[in-house]
Amino acid sequence: MALHPLVAIHSAPSIAGSIDVRKLIVSLCVLFSTQLSAEEQPVRFVGGIAWGVTELTFDEKLDADVSFNTLSALGALSRGKFYSSLALSSSLATENVSEEDEIGVAERWDADLTLGYRPTARWSVFGGYRAGSTDIDFSVRDTDIRQSEFYRENGLFAGASYTHSMGRSGSISLTAALSRYDTQLKFTAGVDDEEEEEDGEGESEALEFDDLEGRSSGTSNGVSVGVSWLIPLENSFALNAQYKINLYDLEVSIDDQLFKPSQRLVYFTLGLLYAF
């Protein structure tokens, strides 16, 4: 059961620079629709579910890393050398976070739509659209103040993967991708900032990223690397384990001042797949 072309692209990310992602994705869409219309090619479908852990690192805003237990659903189909997939992931519960005098709970969701092409049995190229968000409800220590905050990204990605077969032990896939996303950020107003405004202090201090308040928007360039291991089981089932790191460099401009914070998302998933 050769499932690896369908699952190696699970939640891939990022692109920018000289690569024209839009043209690549449009080309993949045209080629994929042409392939689906070919009567001689059978359509294969794979569905699956996975448990995982997603770890968020955002040093410029949060005091510590946040780890979410997640549940993911995956659907993929292929015809000939072309494939597509949709992956949805959501945190199972809220996790505790802190930012200076604020404490709160956070949740996370991700969604990926991917189109790909396999020129050979080992190599594939892909592109698609991704969206994700971390949503936080904050409260200020020893007060009744409640505020919300979020970090959201959406945009296009493209990349390639290489798969090595190990016979009955399954196959190992290595994936690399680039992305360029639009980012939407909403930050809370900290107690320290409010006190400084009332006292008339801090007016001459340089604005730092963690001092930003309200809504902001910007862009992010990212890179992603990952490895997955697909193990075939009996009766068209397969076990899939994946580890992936997404690194993003954000650019946010406020009052003619440019901020370049970084963000990291680490994904680990273990799932069960079924080929229909």
Assess whether pLDDT exceeds 50 at residue 5: no
Could you tell me how far CA 101 lies from the centroid of its own chain?
Answer: 29
- Classify residue 18 by its DSSP letter: T
**pLDDT given at position 26:** 64
pLDDT in tens, 40-71: 678 899 999 999 999 999 999 999 999 999 99
Q: Is 31 exposed, middle or buried (0-12, 13-18, 19+ CB in 10 A)?
A: middle
- Segment 192-210 shows an average pLDDT of 59
- pLDDT given for residue 9 in this prediction: 37
The tokens for 37 are: 């219309």
- Confidence category of residue 240, pLDDT binned at 50, 70, 90: very high
226 vs 215, more confident: 226
Residue 56 contacts residue 31 (beta carbons within 8 Å): no
Model confidence at 261: pLDDT above 60: yes
Give me the mean pLDDT over the 123-148 stretch.
91
- Which one, of 44, 46, 42, 116, lies nearest residue 84 by Cα? 116
Residue 12 confidence (pLDDT) above 50? no
Q: Look at residue 18 and tell me whether its pLDDT is greater than 90.
A: no
Average pLDDT over residues 222-227: 96
Domain 4-183+218-275 CATH class label: mainly beta
CA 50 – CA 115 distance, rounded (Å)? 21
- Tokens 């016979």, residue located: 167
Exposure of 98 by Cβ count < 10 A (0-12 exposed, 13-18 middle, 19+ buried)? middle
The pLDDT score that the predictor gives to residue 38 is 56
Q: What is the mean pLDDT of the chain?
A: 85
Residue 157, pLDDT above cutoff 50: yes
CA distances from 271 to 71, 126, 131, 195, 209 (A): 9, 22, 21, 49, 38
Rounded to an integer, what distance in angstroms lies between the CA atom of residue 77 and that of residue 111? 17
Residue owning tokens 């493209």: 158
Task: Look at residue 70 in the predicted model and tell me its pLDDT.
Answer: 98
Lowest mean pLDDT, pick from 15-19, 109-113, 203-207, 227-231:
15-19
Q: What mean pLDDT comes out for the span 91-118?
A: 94
Instruction: State the average pLDDT over residues 81-93.
Output: 96
pLDDT tens digit sequence for 202-217: 455 677 888 888 888 8
User: pLDDT over 70 for what percent of the chain?
Assistant: 80
Q: Report the alpha-carbon distance of residue 268 to residue 77 in Å, rounded.
A: 23
